[in-house]
Amino acid sequence: MKDKIDFQIENLGIPKFKSPLQLSTVRGDNIFTFINETDKLVFDTSLESYNQCLTNNKEPLCLEKAGPRQNIHFEPKNFTAAIVTCGGLCPGINNVIRGIVMALHYFYDVKKILGIPYGYEGLNPEMGHDFIALTPDKVKDIHQFGGTILGSSRGAQDVSVMVDTLVNNNIQMLFTIGGDGTLKGCNAIGEEIKKRGLDISVVGIPKTIDNDVDIIDKSFGFETAFDIASPILKDAHNEAHGAYNGISIVKLMGRDSGFIAASASLAMPVVNFVLVPEMDFDLYGENGFLEVLKSRLEAKHHAVIVVAEGAGQHLFEKDDIVTDASGNVQHDDIGLFLKQKIKEYFSDIFPVTIKYIDPSYIIRSAAANSGDSVFCSSLAYQAVHGAMSGKTKFVVGKVNDKFVYLPISAVVSKRKKIDLESGFWFAVLQSTGQPFSIK
């Protein structure tokens, strides 16, 4: 049975230089072994899928294992690498920058590394931002801080101008740290490079607290974001509990996917209702949210509601769609809307006390927690190994808990959303006790 590699990564050429890494080529010598290009991982590990492959005499869909290769494409010392960070902030960006610089410098002897300031904007010379020279000394302490030392931005830039900038500055490797938009931008830059026949590798390291990048297990920063959100839910519970028929509403980020709201609520099981963009809930009617909330208050006299910012958008009457500079839809404020509707509904039923909490940017501007810090440096090292071997237009991430390389195109074709039929969402329903459907 031969592997079918649908997740095939493009390569700039056959790697012809020997890696400077002193690794092993055989198992059993207690030294890490180079990854062979034929080392693959099966994507769907279920027995059902395996049996289907056998029955249909088909090859399983495989993934490229991440890690250092024995032969590399770029001659160490001889080139310039660059790093850019785009989109919203996210815990761990500085850890990834640090990891990339350290790996390039110490593993591969790459001495010229440039930081591109303020996102893709920094690749447009007309903006007048100066590049930042990145050295181990410059980045050694940055993992302690949230944000990005390079700055970020949203908004479209001319891909051709950005590629001109790479060429004019002899940049042969570009690491882009960002969400779906950044990754699409990275792919577009990679396509333009290919069109021009240039020898430049572009890499994406998926960053988003929303955890909405498809296929990968999780994006870095997501875990820290819900880690910061969960103690806030405990405080919200104290507030709700402190009043007879007290209600706390906490709005958490999550533009189109409710992973932060759901995970924070699982981490702090004091939440009674989690409302996410993936749900199509109603406010009114016998099984509508307000009636379900009333039953909860009659039984327990307090309630904690966590709502993701993208939830309930179907409840607004919209005249026109507002977008940010990158074209992302800006949602109506579901938190304040719910507060108002709850107030109105209970005004002639019984008195309620409502506390509204919006932690907003606090959950994404902090430094990475320990778990994310470990994850970020591994992502950075794997990204460097892949780029050095000449792979391009790829992202690094974990799938089935293993580091792999995936074509950017595979992860940006759709957003990852909570599957309402999954065990994950069932766990949320078990933890909160909210009805399976609020209609």
Ligand X SMILES: Nc1ncnc2c1ncn2[C@@H]1O[C@H](COP(=O)(O)OP(=O)(O)OP(=O)(O)O)[C@@H](O)[C@H]1O
Ligand Y SMILES: O=P(O)(O)OC[C@H]1O[C@](O)(CO)[C@@H](O)[C@@H]1O
Interface with ligand Y, residue 208, by CB under 6 A? yes
CB 265 to ligand X: min, Å: 21
188 binds, among ligand Y, ligand X, Mg ion, none (CB under 5 to 8 A by kind): ligand X
Among 49-57, 140-148, 179-187, 191-199, the segment contacting Mg ion (CB under 5 A):
179-187
CB 100 within 8 A of CB 110: no
DSSP state of 107: I
- Single residue of 188, 309, 383, 428 touching ligand Y by CB under 6 A: 309
Among 43-51, 178-186, 374-382, 404-412, the segment contacting Mg ion (CB under 5 A):
178-186
Q: How many CB atoms are closer than 10 A to CB 127?
A: 14
139 to 98, 115, 267, 287: CA distances (angstroms): 5, 11, 33, 54
Residue 197 CA, distance from chain mean position: 31
- Listed residue (21, 207, 205, 15) closest to 104, CA to CA: 21
CB 186 to ligand X: min, Å: 8
- Tally the C-alpha atoms within 13 A of residue 400's C-alpha that lie toward its C-beta: 14
- Single residue of 19, 94, 182, 263 touching ligand X by CB under 6 A: 182
Q: How many residues bind ligand Y (CB under 6 A)?
A: 12
- Helix (H), strand (E) at residue 190: helix 180-196
- Single residue of 91, 115, 122, 179 touching Mg ion by CB under 5 A: 179
- Residues of this chain, 269-298, that bind Mg ion according to CB under 5 A: none
Residue 416 CA, distance from chain mean position: 10
Interface with ligand Y, residue 88, by CB under 6 A? yes
Interface with ligand Y, residue 255, by CB under 6 A? yes
Phi first, then psi: give them for residue 73, nearest 5 degrees. Answer: -90, -35
Interface with Mg ion, residue 180, by CB under 5 A? yes
364 binds, among ligand X, Mg ion, ligand Y, none (CB under 5 to 8 A by kind): ligand Y
Q: Which long-range contacts (CB under 8 A, 24 or more apart) does 39-43 make?
A: 39/65, 40/3, 40/5, 40/64, 40/65, 41/65, 41/399, 41/400, 41/402, 41/404, 43/7, 43/399, 43/400
Interface with ligand X, residue 192, by CB under 6 A? no
380 binds, among Mg ion, ligand X, ligand Y, none (CB under 5 to 8 A by kind): none
Residue list, annotated binding site: 88, 154-155, 179-182, 208-210, 253-255, 309, 361-364
Q: How many CB atoms are closer than 10 A to CB 355?
A: 18
Q: How far apart are the first and last CA of the chain?
A: 49
Q: Which residues partner with 249 through β-bridges? A: 305, 356
- Residues of this chain, 331-370, that bind ligand Y according to CB under 6 A: 364
For the chain, give me the number of helices (H) and strands (E)? 13, 17
Query: Which residues are CB-neighbours of 127 under 8 A, at least 6 positions away?
Result: 118, 121
Among 126-134, 183-191, 368-376, 379-387, the segment contacting ligand X (CB under 6 A):
183-191
Residue 307 in 3-state DSSP? strand
Comparison of 64 and 309: residue with beta carbon closer to ligand Y? 309
210 catalytic? Reply is yes
- Residues of this chain, 197-236, that bind ligand X according to CB under 6 A: 208
Interface with ligand Y, residue 147, by CB under 6 A? no
73 binds, among ligand X, ligand Y, Mg ion, none (CB under 5 to 8 A by kind): none
Among 118-126, 186-194, 237-245, 247-255, the segment contacting ligand Y (CB under 6 A):
247-255
Among 107-115, 152-160, 346-354, 429-437, the segment contacting ligand X (CB under 6 A):
152-160
Comparison of 166 and 334: residue with beta carbon closer to ligand Y? 334
Question: Active site residue: 29, 158, 210, 227, which one?
Answer: 210
Q: How far apart are CA 260 and CA 360, in angstroms?
A: 12
DSSP string, 43-67: S---HHHHHHHHHTT-PPBEEEEPS
User: So which residues are the catalytic ones?
Assistant: 210
Binding site for ligand X (CB under 6 A): 86-88, 119-120, 153-157, 178-182, 184-185, 188, 208, 326, 328
Binding site for Mg ion (CB under 5 A): 179-181
Binding site for ligand Y (CB under 6 A): 87-88, 179, 208-210, 253-255, 309, 324, 364
